[in-house]
Amino acid sequence: MTSDVAHNETVQSPVQAVLRGGPDDIPQALRAIHTEMDAPVIKIERLGGYEHFHRSDEVSVPVVYNWLMRTRIAE
């Protein structure tokens, strides 16, 4: 059996994550996502800006990201 991945490369599978906190009107459908295993920050575009979520230190499945701030898209 052969593999297309070199021995020194790491393949990361997406992991389940949940976005916690932030504005109450963020739809539940946007709060349950898949992301790369080592993603420290997730940004979701919403209402002319971005909601920023940072990975929690807690060990859990799904991985928890806590809301940190909202920024506006520069025009």
Give me the DSSP letters along 15-32.
EEEEEESS-TTS-HHHHE
| Predicted model pTM | 0.77
Tokens in use for 75? 């025009």
CA 21 to chain centre: 13
Question: What span, in angstroms and rounded, lies between the C-alpha atoms of 56 and 32?
Answer: 15
One digit per residue, pLDDT tens: the chain, 75 residues? 444 444 444 556 788 999 999 999 999 988 999 998 889 999 999 999 999 999 999 888 999 999 999 999 987
